[in-house]
Amino acid sequence: MSRLSIISTDKVDSTTEKLMKEFTQRIIANPPGVCPVDMQLAFLKVCHAQTCGKCGPCRIGLGILEELLESVLNNTATMETLELIEHTATNIKNSADCAIGFESARMVLAGFEGFKEDYISHVRDHQCTGTFEQPIPCVTLCPANVDIPGYIALAGEGRCGDAVRLIRKDNPFPTACALICEHPCEARCRRNMIDDSINIRGIKHYVMDKARADAVAVPVCGAPTGRKVAVIGGGPAGLTAAYFLQLMGHQTTVFEEKAQLGGMLRYGIPNYRFPRERLQEDIDAILSTGVEVKLNANVGTKELGEINQAYDAVFIAIGAHAEKKLNLEGEDSGNVISAVEMLREIGDGRYPDFSEKRVLVVGGGNVAMDCARTAIRSNAKTVSIVYRRRKEDMTALPAEVEGAIAEGIELLTLKAPLRVEADENGNAKALWVQPQMIGPVRGGRPSPKKAAKQEERLECDVILMAVGQDIISGPFEKAGIATRRGQLLADASGALNRVGMYAGGDCVSGPATVIKAIAAGKAAAANIDEFLGCHHEISVDVEIPEPLLNDKIPCGRVNLGEKESWARRDNFEGIEYTMSDEEALQEASRCLRCDRHGCGVLRGGRKDRW
């Protein structure tokens, strides 16, 4: 081969690699609301382009599938066409020689099943069921539908107070989300097509450090309606509902079982991630609307009946505060502590002392990371996390896992707990585990299975069980409220099977994220308002800056820094640094302003009802 041909081949390969990388970026930035059939056809064409052409099912079959999908989009398909799509894809999946063929066909079958209503709509009604009303990726993927491009633009102009007001139109916990939100809004940011997603949470962190929540006045409440609403539970869902209902003019009272408000924001998230004084900023702003609070209020079946009689509507947002158990032999031994119990104590300022203790944490989620990193800060001699899957299968945020490792916490993966061994005093002294090996994918993650290895004994002094949370629904079941698998059974509007009673947050969905609880509280407030015969609008009179006309050239993303591991692992002070003015300005300027450009224009301004 000549030198010229080698150079030419290298150039083609490098160009192809670059184009594939850019294509991958476009897939990542695929916005919500697109036609699923059109998207599936595009993916199928990419797969077909990869075929080697040696086997008929792949070379010919995928081409036939393309033609069938195109007929659906061209409004020439019939119901028989849909049967042929399924039949053809099944044959290819069962007969193709390599993964290109059978995985492409499997993908078509999975989409055909998942998008079946859309396929039928194309054939019968000649229209797509997808919606293009608000496909701004960040806004659509935020459960609370916060106007993200708007507050980023305000931050870019240094108008942080106005940014807080705009955020509060949809989310009264701007500080909480600035520090601990899992930022689903960044997942399909269109900036990914150029370089990397906007650091949306980082910009919000900057905003909240510049304009603290309790220093920015809340909107003036509407005229009193004479209606009273009770909110049972003072966590993010309950306080969100109370905030918006109070703004609408309905006098709202929050009944909280514990000594302080905040729910899992206070009793489930350690101070180093979310300092308590920052939580209080959000709570004080919410209470400044006139929301009444009754602490240490244990609402049982009797009390629920009394509240239902005294108030025009009730919103139940009790969260998920009970610990789950693995039902292991010896699980009731001394020094076996549930994550919920430990974090609850910390929420009231009672920190454990694990001096010279060897601590094992069982679990692989964010709560397990919180427990492990709390144990390190409580002077534990060693801390290890025991998890039955692999590191990459953990449900915890990658940043949380890496942060734990940096602080000296060891991951013991592919080890399934079997039983707890106790000493003569009944205290745990070892955890026996069964080694696992990773197996087939089920539910989106590879499942572990028992490996042909001997059981292992892990010596310890303390075991922290972080394997999930349950809902205390018993008193509500006794009051006649329908439940399913321990969760309160609410319809799409949050309404329960008792007139005037609604529920939302973790007690309905199961343990979820803070922003999802906030979204549930926001939706409940709107639905309760309708139930009370009103139709209030929540608006904000903030002028959003026009988009900058700067060139959108590739630019690196500004990430937030953290304290060095040695400086943070022995205290509970906040560990994350905020952006500088210079960094925030640059990061805000990277926003493509999808609210003003392209098909994702916000319609109706910033004053619409939710």
One-letter amino acid identity for 38?
D
Whether residue 355 is predicted with pLDDT greater than 70 in this model: the reply is yes
User: In the chain, what percentage of residues exceed pLDDT 90?
Assistant: 72
Mean pLDDT, residues 494-504 taken together: 94
**Above 60 in pLDDT, residue 600?**
no
- Residue from 24, 36, 240, 204 nearest 135 by CA: 36
pTM of full prediction above 0.85 = yes
pLDDT computed for residue 7 by the predictor: 57
pLDDT at residue number 418: 97
Mean pLDDT of the chain: 91
Residues 513-522 pLDDT 10s: 999 999 999 9
CB 404 within 8 A of CB 410: no
Q: Are 368 and 466 in contact (CB under 8 A)?
A: yes
Q: What is the mean pLDDT of residues 146-158?
A: 96
Short-list 435, 416, 325, 320, CA closest to 364: 416
At residue 599, does pLDDT exceed 70?
A: no
CA-based nearest residue to 231, from 519, 535, 505, 538: 505
Strand pairing partners for 590? none
- Assign 604 a pLDDT band (cuts: 50, 70, 90): very low
As a whole number of angstroms, the distance between CA 501 and CA 495 comes to: 6
pLDDT at 111 over 90: no
**For residues 555 and 49, what is the distance between their CA atoms, to the nearest angstrom?**
32
373-427 pLDDT per residue, tens: 999 999 999 999 999 999 999 999 999 999 999 999 999 999 999 999 999 999 9
pLDDT in tens, 201-260: 999 999 999 999 999 999 999 999 999 999 999 999 999 999 999 999 999 999 999 999
**Residue written as tokens 């993650």?**
445
Of the CA atoms within 13 Å of residue 455, those in its CB half-sphere come to 9
Return the closest-CA partner of residue 127 out of 79, 73, 81.
73
* CB-count burial class (<10 Å; 0-12, 13-18, 19+) for 30: middle
Q: Which of 609, 205, 572, 37 is nearest to 352 (CA)?
A: 572
Q: Is the pLDDT of residue 602 over 60?
A: no
* Residue 404 tokens, joined: 């734990």
pLDDT given at position 605: 45
Beta-sheet pairing, 483-484 with 487-488: antiparallel
Q: Which residue is it, tokens 């244990």? A: 298
Residue 96 has a pLDDT of 86
| Predicted local confidence at residue 42, as pLDDT | 87
pLDDT at residue 572 tops 60:
yes
Distance CA 301, CA 527 (A): 24
Closest to 315 in 3D by CA, of 491, 501, 509, 480: 501
Q: Which of 186-200, 241-255, 337-351, 530-544 has the highest mean pLDDT?
A: 241-255
437 beta partners: 449
CA distance 493 to 528: 9
Lowest mean pLDDT among 4-13, 285-294, 385-394, 417-426: 4-13
**Residue 411: per-residue pLDDT:** 97
Strands (E), 14-172: none
Q: Is the dihedral angle over the CA atoms 15, 21, 23, 26 positive or is it negative?
A: negative
Phi/psi of residue 467, each to 5°?
-115, 20
| C-alpha span between 457 and 162 (Å, rounded) | 57
Q: Are 333 and 426 in contact (CB under 8 A)?
A: yes
Q: How far is CA 308 from CA 195, 249, 312, 349, 504, in A?
A: 54, 19, 7, 34, 17
Over 80: is that where the pLDDT of 538 sits? yes
The model's pLDDT over 30-73, given as tens digits with 9 standing for 90+, comes to: 777 778 888 888 888 888 888 877 788 888 888 999 999 999 99
Sheet harboring 382-387: ordered strands across?
Answer: 336-338, 462-465, 358-362, 382-387, 410-413
